[in-house]
Amino acid sequence: MFEYEGLQISFIADGHFWPEVFYLGSLQARETLYDVLSEFVKRGEMSEGRAVDVVKGALFGNANRIYALGLEPHLSSE
pLDDT at 48: 94
Q: What pLDDT does residue 65 have? A: 87
Q: Which of 61, 43, 11 shows the shortest CA–CA distance to 52?
A: 61
**Strand pairing category for 8-9 and 2-3:** antiparallel
Alpha-carbon gap, residue 24 to 29, rounded angstroms: 8
Which residues, 6 or more positions from 37, have their beta carbon under 8 angstroms from its beta carbon? 46, 51, 54, 55
Delimit the domains of the chain by residue range: 2-66
CA 26 – CA 8 distance, rounded (Å): 18
Is the overall model pTM greater than 0.85, yes or no? Answer: no
Cα separations in angstroms, 60 against 23, 42, 44, 45, 55:
16, 24, 25, 23, 8
Q: Could you list the pLDDT tens digit for every one of the 78 residues in the chain? A: 455 555 566 556 565 677 777 788 888 888 999 999 999 999 999 999 999 988 888 888 888 888 899 998 887 665
Predicted local distance difference test score (pLDDT) of residue 16: 63
